Amino acid sequence: MLRIIETKILRLTHELVICLPGFMMMMMYALDEPSTDNSDLVRKAEEILDRTEEIVGTSCFYGEIWKTMLRSSSCCMQAIKYLNRKIPRSP
């Protein structure tokens, strides 16, 4: 499924903004707790999210993550863990 996202959906570039709410929710589910079985899947999902940020812009990207957390409590934990890894800590 992630291969389809890479080859078809990320090629939408600016049209991706229109479907970003649903797309972001889907990607949060792909970031489920990493284990030895699905660590490659999580790594690939993070690469797709990084590419998505490049396409839609940082402000829009992180804003949509916060909106996803508000819309769906089942996505909150994955989103928090993702944000914890991505947002730089102050010294």
Residue pLDDT, tens place only, 34-50 = 555 667 888 889 999 99
Return the closest-CA partner of residue 83 out of 67, 16, 21, 4. 67
Residues 6+ apart with CB under 8 A from 51: 6, 10
Q: What is the mean pLDDT of residues 3-10?
A: 85
Whether 30 maps to a domain, the answer reads: no
Q: Which domain holds residue 73?
A: 55-86
Stronger pLDDT, 14 or 81, i.e. the higher one: 81
Whether 67 maps to a domain, the answer reads: yes
First to last CA, the chain: 39
* pTM for the predicted model, two decimal places: 0.84
* Domains of the chain: total: 1
